[in-house]
């Protein structure tokens, strides 16, 4: 028979695997990892993705999930059951807040929100049932940077686990487990896959027993990822280092350009020396600051509409992290569900525009912004 030795892993587009006999199925149960049974439990493509993200984050094991939301759900369930309480950074991804407020509350897992300034002094927020703190390395849309080492020490002092959503920073900038986080999760949909063509997630554990829990939760709740989406994510991940370097370089130049533009009232980018956590971002990102930034136009929907209508290189597409640039509007998309008071507290007004800076030639991006802001 012709020997087939593909250079890369083919797509194992199969829901189930064959066994020769009873001994073979026994081997599956006796020797974990020796064979595959059923793709929801494990598939060569989703395992390859989990292993690749695990390596990037230097973890003890990982699970690939059907979305970033599934990753957040799996991470919370690793440590929580009915009756438990979680702490959550106040400027968290809107979907995380919706999961906590609308669904997990109904199942008896309650949440309190901790303002950014209070993340290193959790005592006032603790209950006897508090299990963990969920936060993001860099927040959306103001790119506030959390001191992960300080947050991990504060959590562990109170017997809490630290769960970090590292979607915005990526492990190419920051590896939260190295700072003491217990779990790190991703919307693989964003930078890890990187081409705006996949919905996927992943969670990585620092401890082997947590990794085993994650895999069980993924299988039993049916949160695991399909072979095709896993394969596309693995392909994207191969260029993560190169893409992130290009995103960071371009975003830095775009941030400097906007910072000097008369139509722009403020720019939120950790790479600017005026950013409140600039020094922390410098240390935690190894001298790079990511591809995301926000800026403030006049607080007037007409001004925002004019910008959106005139920009050709930053289409209004409420996601992020693709190789092609895009823009989003936090007030009307990601932060729509917040109360007026929460929005006022965070400074999310109609004039706030978020850019996901892609890897195009930067002169083209700057020229487009110049004409759109005119």
Instruction: Report the catalytic residues.
Output: 40, 93, 165, 190
The answer for residues whose C-beta is within 8 angstroms of residue 146's C-beta and 6 or more apart is 89, 116, 119, 135, 136, 137, 138, 139, 164
Beta carbons of 230 and 46 less than 8 angstroms apart: yes
On the 0-12 / 13-18 / 19+ scale of CB atoms within 10 A, 128 is exposed
Helices (H) and strands (E) in the chain, counts: 12, 11
Residue 42's nearest CA partner among 20, 23, 15, 18 is: 15
The residue with its CB nearest to ligand PLP is: 68
Six token digits for residue 311: 């920009």
Taking the C-alpha atoms of residue 269 and residue 304, their distance in angstroms, rounded to an integer, is 19
Residue 153 or 195 with smaller CB distance to ligand PLP: 195
Compute the half-sphere exposure of residue 314: CA atoms within 13 Å on the CB side of its CA: 32
With tokens 């009873």, the residue in question is 22
Buried b (16+ CB within 10 A) or exposed e, 133-170: bbbbbbbbbbbbbbbbbebbebbeeeebbbbbbbbbbb
> Measured from the CB of residue 262, what is the shortest distance to ligand PLP in angstroms?
31
Residue 284 or 373 with smaller CB distance to ligand PLP: 284
Return the SS3 of 162.
strand
Residue 110 or 139 with smaller CB distance to ligand PLP: 139
Residue 19 or 318 with smaller CB distance to ligand PLP: 318
CA distances (Å), 218 to each of 178, 182, 213, in order? Answer: 24, 18, 9
Residue 203 or 264 with smaller CB distance to ligand PLP: 203
Q: Read off φ and ψ for residue 187, nearest 5 degrees.
A: -85, 100
Beta carbons of 205 and 178 less than 8 angstroms apart: no
Residue 201 or 330 with smaller CB distance to ligand PLP: 201
> Measured from the CB of residue 190, what is the shortest distance to ligand PLP in angstroms?
6
The DSSP letter of residue 224 is B
Taking the C-alpha atoms of residue 131 and residue 136, their distance in angstroms, rounded to an integer, is 17
Residue 195 or 261 with smaller CB distance to ligand PLP: 195
> Measured from the CB of residue 19, what is the shortest distance to ligand PLP in angstroms?
34
> Measured from the CB of residue 191, what is the shortest distance to ligand PLP in angstroms?
10
Instruction: Using CB under 6 A, list all residues that contact ligand PLP.
Output: 67-69, 93, 95, 136, 140, 165, 167-168, 187, 189-190, 199, 201
CA distances (Å), 76 to each of 56, 139, 210, in order? Answer: 21, 19, 11
């Amino acid at each position: 028979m012709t020997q087939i030795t593909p250079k890369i892993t083919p797509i194992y587009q199969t829901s189930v695997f064959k066994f020769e006999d009873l001994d073979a199925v026994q081997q599956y149960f006796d020797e974990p990892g020796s064979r595959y049974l059923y793709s929801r439990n494990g598939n060569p493509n989703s395992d390859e993705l989990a292993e690749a993200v695990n390596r990037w984050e230097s973890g003890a094991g990982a699970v690939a999930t059907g979305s970033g939301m599934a990753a957040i759900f799996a991470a919370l369930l690793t440590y929580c059951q009915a009756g438990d309480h979680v702490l959550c950074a106040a400027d968290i991804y809107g979907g995380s807040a919706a999961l906590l407020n609308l669904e997990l509350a109904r199942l008896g897992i309650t949440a309190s929100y901790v303002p950014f300034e209070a993340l290193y002094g959790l005592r006032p927020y603790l209950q006897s049932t508090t299990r963990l703190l969920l936060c993001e390395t860099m927040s959306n849309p103001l790119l506030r940077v959390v001191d992960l080492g300080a947050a991990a020490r504060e959590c562990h002092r109170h017997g809490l686990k630290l769960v970090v959503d590292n979607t915005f920073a990526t492990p190419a900038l920051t590896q939260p487990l190295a700072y003491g986080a217990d779990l790190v999760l991703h919307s693989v949909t964003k930078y890890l896959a990187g081409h705006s063509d996949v919905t996927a997630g992943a969670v990585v554990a620092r401890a082997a027993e947590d990794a085993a829990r994650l895999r069980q939760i993924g299988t039993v709740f049916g949160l695991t990822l399909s072979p095709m989406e896993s394969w596309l994510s693995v392909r994207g991940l191969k260029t993560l280092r190169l893409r992130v370097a290009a995103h960071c370089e371009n975003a830095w130049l775009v941030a400097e350009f906007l910072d000097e533009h008369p139509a722009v009232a403020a720019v939120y980018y950790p790479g600017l020396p005026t950013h409140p956590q600039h020094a922390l971002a410098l240390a935690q990102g190894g001298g790079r600051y990511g591809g995301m930034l926000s800026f403030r136009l006049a607080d007037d929907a007409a001004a925002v509409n004019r910008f959106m209508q005139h920009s050709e290189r930053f289409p209004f597409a409420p996601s992020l992290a693709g190789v092609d640039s895009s823009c989003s509007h936090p007030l009307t998309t990601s932060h729509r569900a917040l109360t007026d008071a929460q929005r006022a507290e965070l400074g999310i007004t109609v004039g706030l525009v978020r850019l996901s800076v892609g890897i195009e030639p930067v002169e083209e991006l700057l020229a487009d912004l110049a004409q759109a802001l005119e």
